[in-house]
Amino acid sequence: MSTQVDDPRFWDNRYIENSSAWDLKTPTPVFVSLIKKGDFMSPGSLFIPGCGKGYDAVYAAEHGYNVTALDFSEQALMFAKQLAAGKDQKVNFLCEDIFNLEEIPQYDYIFEYATYCAINPDRRTEFARKLSSLLKKEGKLIALLFPVDGRLGGPPFNINVTEAYGIFSTYLNLIFSSKVIDSVKPRMGREVLHIYKKTA
């Protein structure tokens, strides 16, 4: 498997060249809906890996969450910090490789979207274990799986939902799964929402 996605310069160049097709330029509708409904989330500590330009991080901060958002692309975080400052919101932004992050179970929630599909697929089990290690007991992982369309190549690399469940459920318990979600139109039918809980 190509390791180019393990190099932050690869992602910096994508942002510099404005070839970041994953960028919705707005908070993720599924995430917005979860926060508004409050069925699975209420204000607490939130971690967002691969936060990109920070739309979700800033939105959560606006709604009372204590947000830590990570990306190893300096270009992405430059934009994210400007966005947070412009909205007068405090977000703890970290420029670091998720795999090198110190393992302290300190978050009530983790929102994962478009990072699992962007990392080297050979590291998906390592990624799931890392996220689990960052959750407090009873903490929840909100995993919006995309793309689940059987594509070849990447990034983004295809996600097999059954395989993803097998990986995440090694560390966490699945408590909710649905394809009926508020996806943006180009991604309808290509996303699945999984919510996991850490019980041990």
Q: What is the pLDDT of residues 92-102, one digit of tens each?
A: 999 999 999 99
Answer yes or no: is pLDDT of 64 > 60: yes
* Residue for token pair 């097709």: 21
- Output the domain CATH number for residue 187: 3.40.50.150
Of 20-24, 122-126, 154-158, minimum mean pLDDT range:
20-24
The residue range of the domain holding 155 is 4-18+27-197
Task: Tell which residue, 200, 196, 198, has the closest CA to residue 40.
Answer: 196
Q: What is the pLDDT of residue 2?
A: 55
- Tell me how far apart the terminal alpha carbons of the chain are, to the nearest angstrom: 33
Mean predicted lDDT score pLDDT of the chain: 93
Residues sharing a CB contact under 8 Å with residue 100, sequence separation 6 or more, in sequence order: none
Domain count, the chain: 1
**Mean pLDDT in residue range 139-146:** 97
- CB proximity list for 177: less than 8 A, separation 6 or greater: 165, 192, 193, 194, 195
Instruction: Tell me the C-alpha distance between 121 and 176, whole Å.
Output: 24
| pLDDT at position 154 | 87
Q: What is the DSSP string of 150-180?
A: ---STTTTP--HHHHHHHHTTTSEEEEEES-
**Which of 3, 182, 30 is closest to 111 using CA atoms?**
30
Closest-CA residue to 176 (of 194, 192, 197): 194
pTM: 0.95
Structure tokens that stand for 16 in this block: 């510099």
Q: Which two tokens mark 96?
A: 């670091």
Q: Which residue has the higher pLDDT, 22 or 96?
A: 96
Q: CA-CA distance, 166 to 146, in Å (whole number)?
A: 16
Would the pLDDT of 107 be above 80? yes
Can you say how many angstroms the Cα of residue 141 is from the centroid of all Cα atoms in its chain? 9
Please give the average per-residue pLDDT across 116-133, as a whole number: 96
